[in-house]
Each structure stands twice: as C-alpha cells, then as structure tokens.
Amino acid sequence: MASKLVKNAVGRMVPTEVNGQKVVPFGGLGKHRPSGNKYAPPIATSLDYPEDGNKVVGSLKEALKKCGLKDGMTISTHHHLRDGDLVSNTIFDIAHELKVKNLVWLPSASFPCHQPITRYLEDGTIDHIEGSMNGPLGKFVSQGKMKGTAVLRSHGGRVQAIQDGEVKIDIAVLAAPSSDFFGNANALNGPSACGVLGYATADYFYADKVIVVTDNLVDFPNMPMEIEGIYVDYVVVVDKIGIPEKIVSGTTQITNSPDRLYIADLTAKFLLESGILKDRCFMQAGAGGTSLAIGHYVHQILKEKGWKSQVGFGGSTKYMVQMLEEGTMEHILDAQAFDLGAVESIAHNKNHHQYPVYNAYNFHTKGNLTTMMDIMILGATEVDVNFNANVVSHSDGYLLHGIGGWQNCLHAKNVILPVPLFRDRIPVIRDEVTTICGPGELIDIIVTERGIAINPKRKDLIKKMKGSKLPIKTIQELKEEAERICGKPKAVEFEDKIVAVIKWVDGTVIDVVKKVKE
C-alpha cells in the first residue's frame, strides 16, 4: 500500500487510502459526521421474477451465474453457522472453478472452518477479506500473504459501511436454516437451526443480488420472515448448510477457573455496590466463561433483591433464558443464539425477540441500543494505562480475532472489562496496546484478579466507591503489578507493510495491523 500515512486522533499512523478507496482517519469521538444519502440498490421489477413465486434454482453455481458473478465483485455472507458453515467455502470453490478473480469476501465473521479459503487468497480468486478473521485466516493476513488489505469492522460498523455505500455488496449469499420457495427465511427450525439471523439484515437490504441457500425448504409463507423474500433473487436447496454440533454448542459453560470466578465475583460486587446494577437495568454480557459467571452472580443478586433486568441483549445463552424464565429478565433482544437452550427459547418464549444488529448497533442511524445499556461486560486481549483496549491482535502481533460488536458496545453507560492481569505470563495491562480497537474514554472499569481500576474520567464512580472494601486500584498500579510478576513485555517487531485496517464505528480508521516479522 503506497498510500500516505497520517497520525489520527489516538496517535496511530493510518493510511488515507485502502484498497484504492479513500478513507478518513479517526478524528476523535463524535467528530466524524456523515454526509450524503444511504446506498440504494437498483430498482427491480417483478416482471423478472416467477409469477408463481418459486425462485428455486438447481444449484448454487447456477444461482451465482444468474447473478452475473464476475471479477472484482464483493460477496457477502453471515456467520450464523459459525464453525459449522458449509456454504461460504463452496462459493469460492465455484468462483475458482469459473475462473473468477479478485473477489472481495465480506463475511460478518470468519472461523477456523474457513481455512481452505487461504487457497483462494493465494491463487487470486479472492483479493482480500473485509470482516473479522478468527484464527487461521488472521494469521495468514498477519504473515502478509493476502493480496489486498483486510478491513476489520465491528458488527455495527459493517452495517454502517453497507448502508453508507462504503462497501457495495454485489451478491449476498445467505445460508438459512429454513426458507420457502420465495426466499422468506428464518433460523427457527430444521437440521441447521441457529435461532436467529440477526447479522443478515443489511446484506439483503442493500445487496444488488441475494441468494438464499437452505437445507430445509418449507411451505410458503415461512414466518417470521427474518429474511424477506421480496429482496431475494434465487433460492438454492442443498443437502446440508452446516454441521449442527459446530453451529450451536450443546452447552455453553460457566468458567470453573478459580481466578476467573473470582474476577466474576468481584465484578458482580462492584456492579451492586456502585449502584450500576439496579432494578430495571439494561444489561449485556457475552457468552465467554467469565461473562457467564458474572451473569450467574447477577442473576442471584436480582433474585435476592426482587429486581429484574428490563432488557438483556444477546448473543443469548441458556443462562439468559433461565433469567427470562425465572423472572429476573423481562426481555431478551437477540441477534444470535449461542446454544441449544437459546435456539429453543427464541422459538417459544414470547419475550425472547429477534433483534438484528442492524437495529442495535449501526452508529449511523437514529439512535443505538448500546447507549441505553446500563451494564456492558466485554473482553480484551490488552488494555493500556489510558484504558485504550485491543480485541483483535495478541501481544505477539498476530491478528487472531474479529471486533464483533465490541466497539459498538463501548457506547454503553458503564463498560466493564473483566480481564486477567496476564495471560501465559504476558501482561494484559500495559503501557501501550498492540492495536487500538477502542479509545480509553469509553472504557470505565477494568476488573482483574488483583484489583479493580476505575477510569479517572468516571469521577462519579470513584466518589461512589470511596471507602469500599473492594480492591480499587489505579490502572498504573495494576500495570506495575503485572510487570512485577511477568517482567516488562518485549515490543513485537513488525515490518512496514500494513496488512489490515481497523475501522471505528463511524467508518474512520482507528488503527492498522502490520505484517509480523517472523
């Protein structure tokens, strides 16, 4: 990338052009105002669609050809089939077979099962990926092997980019656990049921062409229409869209590590003592072991107090469902279901609602769900002394995770990062993070097994917690403690080549990832 580098508002050198497209450097929170109108796809006419409503074609290959698949197109997919996805790789097998080149893949996330895609990144079928790269694809990128530059966006940032026309989807290929012949689809039933399709909304609204791929063709009308047939061009029926046991886990599990449980306990106590946890609060945790433990403790506190959380935002798990069913949570709003208990619940519990990230996380819309959340529990691979945090790379420099909804969630009223002080004897709290994914201004509380740091910006919380018996420390103290134990972490050596850019929720560039010197 020959583009000029400029220093952005968090002090990182970022390019002004990525993959031949102009980009805006991050200018600080709330500084970027969008202009112009949303993207809108071409006007269709029903004259081009079958009068009997039957859009089923013989194969994905046929559908892709009918959609005019050609060099340079952008193909989008969602990640609801997670590590059990059997559809995405097939798209590029077909593209390769058809000798199509320089595609852009825009997944809402990728997983280890997508490792075969590296072959197509190597042979030029795919130019680059815009989307999170969990595991092997991330490593491939960090090694400088991808032709174009990766663009990483949050789930909401992906919606923003699609909506604003920063990325134009030529063909969306949407796997669906059930569909009727018209393309009305949802995820409630079928062998690959995954509960919710909350990441596919922007794709079918804004793509020029939409293909639904299902292994479960059902009678018209397939309700609810989580994907709406009026946006769908073709329906493809295949034997299997996914491997069920890799789509949803049979059991999500609370951590049993004593350290993690201690962090969870500290977090719950802090939430209660600080008054953040209260009756009718809006809360969001994750599905990781520590988050689940926090949820469990919160559930107990709510029960004792006779309180309830008014809204919990998913990714949902059986633990959230338990809160719903035991009356400590009024509503679950859900963009993805992580386990079988959650899938079951969304089909049957009246107050367990599908709520796409399109509605929850897009920064360029008329209000976000995230700013309404009282409690937001998030993770991080690294946090620096200014509370800036990293979620995409490890301290060895490798890009191994996606942003997920993390950046979007930073806009909650109280953002809490329960993290271990170190991992594999590498400090998590440090002078500087490898990659800045979120500015410290938005991160309020760091909870570790060695103490809790409150962002100095949160004078209200510091005052409130004065005299608390909880181990409140400064972030500097936590950092020093980590370094006393593990030693000062060595700087990673990078080459100059920028292999990925990290977008902020407003579409500006907050940081880059460089090729690791191996």
Strand partners, 237: 214
220 makes contact with its own copies (CB under 8 A): yes
Stretch that binds its own copies, among 85-93, 125-133, 367-375, 487-495 (CB under 8 A): 367-375
Taking CB under 8 A as the rule, which mask of x and - marks residues 399-438 in contact with its own copies? Answer: ------------x-x-------------------------
Question: Please, which residue, 152 or 232, has the CB nearer to its own copies?
Answer: 232
Phi-psi region of 47 (alpha: psi -120 to 50; beta: other; left: phi over 0): alpha
Question: Please, which residue, 105 or 231, has the CB nearer to its own copies?
Answer: 231
Q: How far apart are CA 343 and CA 196, in angstroms?
A: 8
327 makes contact with its own copies (CB under 8 A): no
256 makes contact with its own copies (CB under 8 A): no
Question: Please, which residue, 290 or 508, has the CB nearer to its own copies?
Answer: 508
CB of 360 to its own copies, least distance (A): 9
Tokens 């209660």, located at residue: 272
Taking CB under 8 A as the rule, which mask of x and - marks residues 262-301 in contact with its own copies? Answer: ----------------------------------------
229 makes contact with its own copies (CB under 8 A): yes
CB of 390 to its own copies, least distance (A): 24
CB 393 within 8 Å of CB 513: yes
460 makes contact with its own copies (CB under 8 A): no
Residue 240 is encoded by which pair of tokens? Answer: 């299997």
Q: How far apart are CA 179 and CA 229, in angstroms?
A: 9
CB 13 within 8 Å of CB 6: yes
Query: Which of 221, 250, 456, 487 is close enough to bind its own copies by CB under 8 A?
Result: 221
347 makes contact with its own copies (CB under 8 A): no
223 makes contact with its own copies (CB under 8 A): yes
Question: Please, which residue, 51 or 424, has the CB nearer to its own copies?
Answer: 51
Query: Which of 2, 20, 21, 33 is close enough to bind its own copies by CB under 8 A?
Result: 33
39 makes contact with its own copies (CB under 8 A): yes
First to last CA, the chain: 20
53 makes contact with its own copies (CB under 8 A): yes
CB of 484 to its own copies, least distance (A): 39
Q: How far apart are CA 108 and CA 154, in angstroms?
A: 9
Q: Is the dihedral of CA 283, 379, 87, 39 positive or negative?
A: positive
Contacts of 188 (CB under 8 A, 6+ apart): 177, 178, 195, 343, 346, 347
Is the backbone peptide bond immediately before 315 cis, with ω within 30 degrees of 0? yes
Q: Within positions 303 to 322, which residues make up the interface with its own copies, using CB under 8 A?
A: 310-311
Residue 135 is encoded by which pair of tokens? Answer: 């595991």
Query: Which of 21, 51, 256, 496 is close enough to bind its own copies by CB under 8 A?
Result: 51
Contacts of 394 (CB under 8 A, 6+ apart): 381, 400, 434
CB of 410 to its own copies, least distance (A): 13
40 makes contact with its own copies (CB under 8 A): yes
- Residue 155 CA, distance from chain mean position: 4
Stretch that binds its own copies, among 85-93, 145-153, 215-223, 435-443 (CB under 8 A): 215-223
Of 420, 323, 411, give the one whose Cα is nearest residue 372: 411
Query: Which of 231, 319, 422, 504 is close enough to bind its own copies by CB under 8 A?
Result: 231
Stretch that binds its own copies, among 48-56, 294-302, 433-441, 458-466 (CB under 8 A): 48-56
Question: Please, which residue, 323 or 400, has the CB nearer to its own copies?
Answer: 323
* Burial of 45 per CB tally in 10 Å (0-12, 13-18, 19+): exposed
CB of 505 to its own copies, least distance (A): 9
225 makes contact with its own copies (CB under 8 A): yes
59 makes contact with its own copies (CB under 8 A): no
Stretch that binds its own copies, among 84-92, 132-140, 171-179, 358-366 (CB under 8 A): 358-366
Q: How far apart are CA 214 and CA 286, in angstroms?
A: 28
Question: Please, which residue, 505 or 513, has the CB nearer to its own copies?
Answer: 505
Residue 46 is encoded by which pair of tokens? Answer: 């029903």
Residue 371 is encoded by which pair of tokens? Answer: 């700013």
**Site size toward its own copies, by CB under 8 A:** 62
Of 370, 374, 510, 384, give the one whose Cα is nearest residue 446: 384
Whole-number CA gyration radius for the chain: 23
Of 473, 264, 273, give the one whose Cα is nearest residue 377: 264
Residue 407 is encoded by which pair of tokens? Answer: 């950046």
Binding site for its own copies (CB under 8 A): 30, 33-53, 55, 163-164, 182-183, 210, 219-221, 223-225, 228-233, 310-311, 331, 333, 351, 353, 355, 358-359, 362-369, 371-372, 411, 413, 506
